[in-house]
């Protein structure tokens, strides 16, 4: 199965799973964040399509929250407070308009995925935004976990040279580390 076929397949699987496990996945993410706490901001994502909605309710994180913003320069993260208005970024996605944060300002990134391999390879939606961010040296050092249904995890699929493995994922069954990786 090539990547476009894999994306169609796993997008459908995620959509079906999220219809039944969406709230329990969000609860599990919030519970895991207690164990994962570290200095810096928590990078989240604005949910698109069948992606898990981690913003309703938004988690509590001592260092504050950050959301991504896509523009001609690529993907950046900016600080965000729940009561702060968002405006459409270059892709039409609600995003904060503050100054870009450095990789060192982020304590943990949670990103969406269609599927995850046991080795931490992430199958994304195909835009390449997270891949282009995470291939940059300082962003490789930021602890990054995918958030997705368990039925989409442990899948082997073809990877590209620019794919940077994640440390693990959070599903409705909990936190899963990839081959001994820990944040």
The chain-wide mean pLDDT, for the chain, equals 93
**Which band of pLDDT confidence, cut at 50, 70 and 90, is reported for residue 123?**
very high
- Residue 16 in domain: yes
The per-residue pLDDT for 158 is 82
**Which band of pLDDT confidence, cut at 50, 70 and 90, is reported for residue 173?**
very high
Which residue from 132, 89, 139 is spatially nearest to 109, judged by alpha carbons? 139
pLDDT for 38 beyond 80: yes
The CATH number of residue 108's host domain is: 3.40.50.10420
* Distance in angstroms (rounded) separating the CA atoms of residues 111 and 46: 10
**Which band of pLDDT confidence, cut at 50, 70 and 90, is reported for residue 183?**
very low
- Per the structure, the count of domains in the chain is 1
Q: Going along 32-180, which residue ranges are E strands?
A: 41-43, 65-71, 74-80, 87-88, 94-95, 106-112, 115-116, 122-123, 144-147, 168-171, 174-177
Q: Provide CB contacts within 8 A for 101, sequence distance 6+.
A: 41, 66, 76, 77, 78, 79
The per-residue pLDDT for 181 is 55
**Residue 92 DSSP class:** S
- Residue 163 in domain: yes
- Residue 146 in domain: yes
pLDDT for 182 beyond 70: no
Domain that includes residue 161, residue range? 3-173
- Residue 53 in domain: yes
Which residue from 169, 97, 122 is spatially nearest to 3, judged by alpha carbons? 122
Residue located via tokens 């944060």: 101
**φ, ψ (nearest 5 deg) of residue 150:** -55, -35
Which one is predicted more confidently, 183 or 104? 104
106 in Cβ contact with 142 (< 8 Å) = yes
- Residue 183 in domain: no
- Residue 60 in domain: yes
- Residue 93 in domain: yes
* Distance in angstroms (rounded) separating the CA atoms of residues 110 and 89: 19
Instruction: Write the pLDDT tens digit of every residue in 9-24.
Output: 999 999 999 999 999 9
The per-residue pLDDT for 72 is 84
Provide the pairing of β-strand 115-116 with 87-88: unpaired
The per-residue pLDDT for 66 is 98
Instruction: Write the pLDDT tens digit of every residue in 47-78.
Output: 999 999 999 899 999 999 999 999 888 999 99
- Residue 50 in domain: yes
Instruction: Write the pLDDT tens digit of every residue in 131-143.
Output: 999 999 999 999 9
């Amino acid at each position: 199965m090539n990547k476009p076929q894999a994306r169609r397949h796993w997008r459908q699987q995620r959509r079906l799973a999220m219809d039944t496990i969406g709230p329990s996945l969000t609860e599990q993410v919030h519970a895991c964040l207690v164990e994962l706490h570290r200095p810096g901001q928590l990078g989240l994502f604005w949910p698109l399509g069948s992606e898990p909605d981690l913003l309703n309710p938004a988690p509590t994180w001592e260092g504050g929250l950050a959301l991504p913003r896509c523009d001609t320069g690529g993907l950046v993260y900016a600080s965000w407070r729940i009561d702060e208005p968002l405006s459409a970024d270059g892709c039409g996605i609600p995003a904060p308009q503050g100054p870009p944060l450095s990789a060192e300002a982020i304590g943990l990134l949670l990103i969406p995925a269609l599927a995850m391999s046991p080795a931490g390879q992430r199958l994304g939606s195909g835009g390449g935004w997270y891949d282009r961010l995470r291939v940059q040296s300082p962003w490789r050092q930021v602890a990054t976990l995918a958030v997705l249904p368990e039925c989409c995890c442990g899948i082997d699929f073809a990877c590209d040279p620019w794919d940077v493995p994640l440390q693990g994922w959070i599903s409705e069954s909990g936190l899963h580390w990839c081959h001994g990786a820990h944040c």
